[in-house]
Chain A
Amino acid sequence: EAGVVQSPRYKIIEKKQPVAFWCNPISGHNTLYWYLQNLGQGPELLIRYENEEAVDDSQLPKDRFSAERLKGVDSTLKIQPAELGDSAVYLCASSLDAFDNEQFFGPGTRLTVL
């Protein structure tokens, strides 16, 4: 069974440029999460989706970050414009549903903003 797929794996951009990350969760998983992991720290939740609905986006900086999960499968996280402080690893995870505590993580996208 394929795990959570993320692309690109690495991205280097200039500050003020836009960037987008893509995630394909494990087949059949209804709940999808985006996490931010700064160097040397644990992941922090940005947004959680139940199917197509964003049910927890309280930690998402909405002035520059946006996310969508059309059709309740794949998801895209966008930053526009990117700032130097956005350099981090962006992790996508999925779980069977909202009641399943086990979350499966993808390999992440390492973003470097110059």
Chain B
Amino acid sequence: QQQVKQSPQSLIVQKGGISIINCAYENTAFDYFPWYQQFPGKGPALLIAIRPDVSEKKEGRFTISFNKSAKQFSLHIMDSQPGDSATYFCAAVSGGYNKLIFGAGTRLAVHP
């Protein structure tokens, strides 16, 4: 059962553009929503995370928007750079359980 649905599967953006990746979840017990960035041959690395008590979190060029009523959250990468080319995973965690449920991933390519 896929509990976190992620789209699109792949994304091509021009340098300087905005990259947007969307995720939807089903389990209302989830209370922590991280985004991970993974480069080829590397493990996933935490990029930014949000809890459902806020609607937006911004760190540098990366912003998470969270819509609790719709059970959706998204990652926005402003001023996308070729170095941002990687696979991005959204995930969700249930309180007290600490089990990461990952989305299927989005392969982002930023063209110069």
Contact = CB atoms under 8 A, between A and B. Distances in A.
B105 A45 contact: no
Contacts, number: 52
10 contacts: A41-B105, A42-B102, A43-B44, A45-B99, A99-B96, A99-B98, A100-B98, A102-B46, A105-B43, A107-B42
Contacts of B13: none
Given A4-B43, A42-B91, A107-B41, A98 B105 contact: no
A106 to B, nearest CB: 5
Nearest to A103: B100
B89 interface: yes
Interface of A: 4, 31, 40-45, 48, 56, 91, 93, 95, 98-108
A48 B96 CA distance: 13
B103 A42 contact: yes
Interface of B: 6, 32, 34, 36, 41-46, 49, 89, 91, 93, 96, 98-100, 102-105
B34 A42 contact: no
Contacts of B100: 43, 45, 103
Given A42-B104, A99-B96, 9 more contacts: A31-B98, A42-B6, A42-B103, A43-B44, A43-B89, A48-B99, A93-B43, A105-B36, A108-B42
A101 B104 contact: no
Contact of A108 (B34, B43, B104): B43
B43 A91 contact: yes
